Amino acid sequence: MRKNSVKNIRINNEVMKELSQIIRETKDPRIHPFTSVVAVEVATDLKTCKAYISVLGSEEDRENTGKGLKSAEGFIRRELAHRLNMRNTPEIRFILDTSIEDAMAMMKKIDEVNGVEH
């Protein structure tokens, strides 16, 4: 299976959808309520998965969410196995994605240069 095959894209989308729902249902208080799954890359052998997570909040919220997701990794993987009918349930690696915050900061700088106030 190639990395950008239809099957791989479909698996990525399914894992992303279920992962988003599982994270929302996780009761760990360290996980910020405004946590979203931005992208998922499941390896072609279905053994590993990179989940890019975005947290809308402070730096402390991002750190706490990272710790909470790390400690809930086993639970999240088990839930994913129950919800998806896959031969292998991938080992999930959470990666904090700051692209949304970076884009907002860039827009703010552009507005400052153009003299636009909000």
Positive or negative, the CA dihedral 30, 67, 104, 16 is negative
Cα(90)–Cα(75) distance, integer angstroms: 13
At 80 the pLDDT is: 94
SS3 37: strand
Write out pLDDT tens, residues 59-86: 899 999 999 999 999 999 999 999 998 8
Contact 102, 109 (CB under 8 A): no
The residue ranges of DSSP E strands in 33-97, in sequence order, are 35-42, 48-55, 91-96
Walking along the chain (118 residues) 10 residues at a time, the average pLDDT comes out as 80 94 93 93 92 90 93 93 88 89 87 81
At 60 the pLDDT is: 93
Q: How crowded is residue 31: how many other Cβ atoms within 10 Å of its Cβ?
A: 21
At 3 the pLDDT is: 65
